[in-house]
Structure formats: structure tokens, C-alpha cells
């Protein structure tokens, strides 16, 4: 799956909107050179778990159910990583210390999950929802046992992942909004990548981002969007922002 990224310099120069087709990249950082010769480095602002969820939803719409479930499951894992970063920031832990400690658990998903549970308990003083336990059997059947889920099964899993992430984001926003903003700004480009390119930030309107928009604008028209509504909007975006 590919996405269309705008040339922001064309827009600044008053030219017609120019878009460049790019493959999704792990770093969320794209070197874009348009037909007018402008060179931009575009940093997509969305978090990794948002992009993973979006890819899973597109796979679901294309009826690739196993691939969809895999992306949704990984999205939850990366979402827990994001929550850990936000909560640690809210507790006063600096970014370097957080990064150095994360290396101890970076290859162990169960340890990451345990870290999330107890950080959540420590910060909110209540037991977190045990989403992983509820859906672990289904997830493991698909990812480890080669089970091919029916479309309704994959869609049901997608909805529960969506609702779980949105609910947890709402909880974070109540007490950690400033930390969410700080974590969102932690996107650095190596200086070696900047030669001849102008860096710019760009927001990709993903399914999850429609709800995360509440962090920026509590009165957003997307503030109460449901999973079904967000999925319908994605169908439109697959004809505009994305290409196979």
C-alpha cells in the first residue's frame, strides 16, 4: 500500500497542489521530490500504532483477514509502548532514561505488556482493562497457528481494538494531555538526511487519529466518531490518500 504526500513548497509558492506517491516507511519520514523540483522531507505526525491500525483496516476492507488481524494485534502492542512513554513522561522520567530502559524489553512483548499494566496501575490507581487476555486465544490462533478468520471475526476484533485504544486515549487525555503533546514532538531527523531537503510535518487523517484529534481540539467534529463511521471514511480515503 502506498500513500500520496503533498509538496508543501508548491502550496507555499501558490502553485497547484502537487502530490507524490510514496511507499509506507517504518520511520514515518519521507523524502519527497515533486515534478517542480522541490525537495521536502515530510514527517508524518501520526504514531506508529495509528499507521499499523490503518494498514490493518485497509487489509480488512480488501478481505485479507489474516493480515488485518496481524496488523491490529501489533497496533495494540505499539499502543502500549506509546502509553508507557506518555505515562513515564507524566511521572517526570526523561526521554533518554526511558529509551535506555526500553532496550531491556524491546524484544519481549509480554514484558512490555506487564510494564504497561503496572505503570497504568501506579499512575491511575486502578486495574487496567485486560484486553490482551480477552483476545489472546483468537490472536494466537491467527498469528501462530495459521487460522484464517472469517471477515466478521476480523471485523469484530478490529472494532474491539479500536474501542480499547480510543477509551485508553481518552483516559490519558484527562490527566496526561501535556505529556501526549511532548511525546508527539519526539520525532527527530538525522542531520545526514537533511542535505538539500526542507523538513516539514504533515498530519495523515487516520481512523484512530480522528479520535486522537480530541487531544488538539476537544470540539472536533470527529470527537464522537464510531468504528463503523471511521471505517466508512477510510473507504473514501482509499480512493484519495492511498494507492495499491
For residue 39, the cross-strand partners are: 33
Note the maximum CA span of the chain: 55
Average pLDDT over residues 67-84: 96
Distance CA 70, CA 85 (A): 23
Q: How far apart are CA 82 and CA 91, in angstroms?
A: 14
pTM of structure: 0.88
pLDDT tens digits for range 154-198: 999 999 999 999 999 989 999 999 999 888 877 666 555 666 777
Q: Cell 531527523 sits at which residue?
A: 189
pLDDT digits (tens, 9 = 90+) for 119-137: 999 999 999 988 877 788 9
Give the integer Cα–Cα distance in Å for 191 and 45: 19
Residue 208 in contact with residue 53, Cβ under 8 Å? yes
Nearest residue to 158 (alpha-carbon basis) of 24, 58, 83, 26: 58
Q: What does the pLDDT look like over 4-37, one tens digit per residue?
A: 888 878 878 888 778 888 888 888 888 888 888 8
Residue 223 has pLDDT above 70, yes or no: no
Amino acid at each position: 500500500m502506498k500513500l500520496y504526500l503533498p509538496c508543501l513548497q508548491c502550496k507555499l509558492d501558490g502553485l497547484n497542489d502537487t502530490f507524490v506517491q510514496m511507499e509506507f516507511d517504518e520511520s514515518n519520514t519521507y523524502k519527497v521530490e515533486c515534478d517542480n523540483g522541490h525537495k521536502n522531507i515530510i514527517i508524518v505526525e501520526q504514531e506508529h500504532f495509528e499507521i499499523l491500525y490503518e494498514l490493518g483496516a485497509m487489509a480488512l476492507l480488501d478481505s485479507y483477514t489474516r493480515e488485518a488481524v496481524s496488523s491490529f494485534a501489533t497496533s495494540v502492542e505499539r499502543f502500549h509502548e506509546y502509553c508507557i512513554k506518555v505515562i513515564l513522561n507524566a511521572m517526570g522520567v526523561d526521554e533518554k532514561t526511558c529509551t535506555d530502559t526500553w532496550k531491556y524489553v524491546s524484544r519481549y512483548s509480554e514484558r512490555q505488556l506487564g510494564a504497561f499494566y503496572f505503570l497504568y496501575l501506579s499512575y491511575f490507581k486502578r486495574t487496567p482493562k485486560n484486553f490482551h487476555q480477552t483476545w489472546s486465544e483468537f490472536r494466537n490462533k491467527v498469528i501462530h497457528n495459521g487460522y484464517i478468520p472469517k471477515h466478521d471475526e476480523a471485523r469484530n476484533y478490529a472494532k474491539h481494538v479500536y474501542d480499547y485504544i480510543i477509551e485508553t486515549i481518552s483516559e490519558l487525555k484527562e490527566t496526561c494531555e501535556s505529556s501526549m503533546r511532548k511525546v508527539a514532538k519526539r520525532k527527530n531527523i538525522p542531520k545526514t538526511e537533511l542535505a538539500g531537503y526542507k523538513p516539514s510535518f504533515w498530519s495523515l487523517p487516520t481512523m484512530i487519529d480522528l479520535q486522537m484529534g480530541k487531544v488538539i481540539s476537544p470540539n472536533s467534529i470527529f470527537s464522537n466518531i464510531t468504528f463503523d463511521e471511521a471505517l466508512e471514511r477510510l473507504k473514501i480515503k482509499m480512493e484519495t490518500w492511498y494507492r495499491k
